[in-house]
Structures are given as C-alpha cells and as structure tokens.
Structure 1
Amino acid sequence: MLEQQLNDDSPALLRFPQFESHLYEIAAGEVAGLTEEQLDFESDKWGWSGWSIRRQLSHMASGNFRWFWQRWGLTMYPEGPPANPPNAEEVKVLAQSKYDRRLDEGVYWDVKLILEELQRGLALGQTILSQHTVGSLRTEEFEYADTGEWPWFYNIHSTGLRRDSETPTKIWFNLETIFRHRYYEHITHLYNIQRIKQAQGLSTKTEVPIEGYMALPGWDLSTPD
C-alpha cells in the first residue's frame, strides 16, 4: 500500500482509495463463477485452507461491521450517520454471530448475500473516510481492549497505536491504523482465497500485493504448487 504524501487538510478518501470499489471488485472477481463445491473446499493440508473461500469472504465482510460500526458506532461519523446502517438485530448476525468472526451462516450462506454485505460494510468505511481529513485520521483515537492475542499487530502498526499508561490491557487506535488494519485483513484473506483456488486447479484473477501482515517475517506464504 503506497502511502501518498498528503497534507493534514487532504480528504481522507485520498489516503485509502481502495475502499471506494477496488477491494470489493477484486473479491467479487475472484469468486465469480465458482461452483458450490469450489466455494466450500477445505483442507487440513495447509493452515490457510481450514476456512473455505465462502468462509474467508464471510470473515472479510463481518470484520467491516465490527470495525466500522459495532465497536464505536456513531462516534466514527462526526458529520452524521451513514446510509443504511445495521440495526441492533442485524448487528447480531453480521458482527456477533456464533460462527467465529464470520457472518451468521444460517442467514448468510449464499455467496451473493455475502458479497452484498461485503459491499455494504465497505461503504461504511467509505462514509467514515468521506467525513474526515488525513489529519483527523491521525488524531482521532478509539479505545480497544488488548488481551494479548495479537502480538504481531505491533510489528506493523508502529504509529497510530498506543497503550494506556495506567491500564496495560487498554490500547488506543487512531483511524489511520484502523483502516490500515482493514486493508491488510482484506488482502490477506484475498490471498488465502487465491491459494484455495490454486489448490483446486483454478486460476486467479488479480495479483494481491504481499504487504502488511503478510510481509512479516515467518508469515506462511506457501502455495499448493
């Protein structure tokens, strides 16, 4: 992800242009035309193939609702609420389901429905960006509880992330870090989707950049070749 030289008054949309359409389009392109069997292929041969393509996509969609709505709600939208925000009942199936950080599979199993929610969640992010500048991305912070499950997180987000001086389990993200995290999550799971396609002898549609979490030393970038 190239970080443009933008001043603090620049629109935040210029800092993360991928959220407008690119992330959705490359995800939709990779799953287009796949059969149900191909979408649901899983294997214990590789660590990255424990979740099927369908479940990788569902995780991507669910994460946007957790990070762009469920955790901090309207505080992320200083100029007013987004269009079509999830109501309380929707949050339960989009961001709080029993399916391990995925959409509720009893409601969102059809890949078309998953893609619709992926697009909807990315639109929340786009709305947040439209209401901020590059400067406010870096100054506005949001509290989060850190129980130590993400030790690698600090190796990537050297700026925009700080630990509370009085409560060790409390950390603060700025908005730039939140959007970096979501971008890195998207491309990481897109790369997994591509590897699962390759394991089935299927071709991929685009080149996913190896950056962010995937660029960390020791990250499993293996392929089925």
Structure 2
Amino acid sequence: MTNDTSQPETGRSLFPELWDIGGQIHQEIAGLTDEQLDWSSDEFEWAKWSIRRQTSHQASMLYRWMLLRWGQVLFPDGPGLDDDQITALAASETDRALDENLFKDIADITRALDNALALAKAALESHTVDQMRSLTIESKQGPHWDLMIDAHPTGIDRNAETGISVLTMEGTFRHMYFELITHLFNVQRLKRAQGLEATVDLPKVGYYILDGWDISEA
C-alpha cells in the first residue's frame, strides 16, 4: 500500500510567465534617461503616457485588482498596508497610476511594481487551480472590453449591455498579465519613437495581438 503524497497544482502552473515579466520590464527600461522616460506625444493615444507613466500604470493596475477588487478574498486579514498606502498605490488622484507626488523616481516606481508582483506570485502559490477557476468577483468595465474579451477563452463572462463582467481569479490574473505585456509593448513603441531599439523579445500573447488593436508606430 502506498500513500498518495501528490499535492494539487497551484495557480503558479497557470501563469509561470508572471515570474519572468518583472525582469523583462526592468530590462526594457534599464539605462534610460529622465528625458527618455518622460517623452510622450499627443499624436497617438498610446503615446500620451510616457514610459515612466506606463510603468507606474503597470504597478498600480496590479494593486487595484488585488487590493481593491480581490482584497477580501486574497487578504482576509488585510494586506499589511494602511489606508494611506493603499490609496497611494491603488486609488490615487493620478489617473490609473501610482500617486505621482510620492512615486516620481523610476526606482521607486519599479520597486512598487516588484512588490505588486510579489503579492501576485504569493496569491498564485497559495491558491489551487480549482480555487482560481471557482472564485469569482463582479466588476463593471468600459467599452474597451468589447475587444479585450476576445483574448479570454475562459474566466471572464461579460454582459455587453450592462458592462458588468464576472471574473474568475484565473481570468483576472490572465488579464493582469496581458495588461503588463500590452503596456510593455507601449514602452517599446515609445522607445522606437525616440530612435531607441527595443530590448525584450515580447511574447505574442494578450491584447496587443488582437485584430482591431492599435499597433501603430510614431
């Protein structure tokens, strides 16, 4: 008679890429000057946010999903942050980004991003695949989701009339990863617009490869 010591797979098996994306972001922005980090253009919608702002958005996006929308599920005893910290990271007056009054230096922004990714990895490792596919939240999303939903074969059930989506934990983390990749694509476009070469071989996944997505270059 043998004992079955196998353990159920954790969420890490669904998204091993989240263990690589932080290094890819760091690699892409390494060595950029403040002028290069802050270059933007009103000519294209994607270019209105500078590389610094794109990176700040990547960090804040993770915090907004995990702390504000999934907070009670992921952190039933609290995330170890006070209200002011949560506001600065996930609900500041800076549009969809970290509080720009507190997170100005790129090192501070990437540190916040690294901490957010650490929270995401811990959540994946502490939940089984079954849990990630059964736990859900509701979230109201804008019309941009009418296209983005095409990147999600499972995990997100969207009501186009009400704009309300039911997202599993798996669907949410897939969305977060796709957001990170898409804004890294924007960072690469912003570099090319300044005559700089992209560094990372970007995975061909997520939103930026969808038919109808704006992949224009400046």
- Output the TM-score relative to the length of structure 1: 0.86
SS at match of 1:43: coil
Amino acid at match of 2:65: W
Where in structure 2 are the equivalents of 1:22-171 lying within 5 Å? 22-77=20-75, 85-146=80-141, 148=143, 150-163=145-158, 168=162, 170-171=164-165
The match for 1:205 is 199
Summarize deviations over 1:92-134 as a string: whole Å, max 9, x none: 1111111110011111010000000000111111111011111
SS at match of 2:157: strand
Tell me how far 1:149 sits from its aligned partner.
5.1
In the TM superposition, residue 190 of structure 1 has moved relative to its aligned partner by: 0.4
How many pairs align? 211
Distance in 1 separating the partners of 2:141 and 2:203: 28
CA drift of 1:163 comes to 5.0
Of residues 49-58 and 204-213 in structure 1, the stretch that sits farther from structure 2 once superposed is 204-213
- Do the aligned partners of 2:185 and 2:208 also contact (CA within 8 Å) in 1? no
Q: Deviations over 1:34-54 (max 9, x none)?
A: 111000001123322110000
Where do 5+ consecutive residues of structure 1 fail to align? 1-7
Instruction: Say which of 162, 174, 180 aligns to 1:180.
Output: 174
Which amino acid in the other structure matches residue 117 of structure 2? Answer: L
CA separation of 1:16 and 1:77: change in aligned 2, threshold 3 A = farther
Whole-angstrom CA distance in 1 between matches of 2:175 and 2:169: 10
In the TM superposition, structure 1's runs of 4+ consecutive aligned residues that sit over 6 Å from their partners are none
User: How big is the shift at 1:91?
Assistant: 1.1
CA RMSD, aligned part only?
A: 2.1
TM-score with structure 2 setting the length:
0.88
Q: What secondary structure is seen at the aligned counterpart in 1 of 2:49?
A: coil
Q: In structure 1, what residue type is equivalent to 2:97?
A: R
Measure how far apart 1:9 and its partner are.
2.9
Question: How high is the sequence identity, in percent, across the aligned residues?
Answer: 39
Instruction: Write out aligned runs for 1:3-14 (5 A).
Output: 9-14=8-13
Structure 2 spans left out of the alignment, 5+ residues: 1-6
- Tell me the CA shift for residue 169 of structure 1: 5.0
The residue aligned with 1:4 is none
Contact 1:30/1:204 (8 A) holds in 2: yes
Following the alignment from structure 1 to structure 2, what is the Cα–Cα distance between the partners of residues 183 and 35? 27
What is the rounded CA distance, in whole Å, between the counterparts of 1:43 and 1:169 in structure 2?
30
Compute the displacement of 1:63 (Å): 0.4
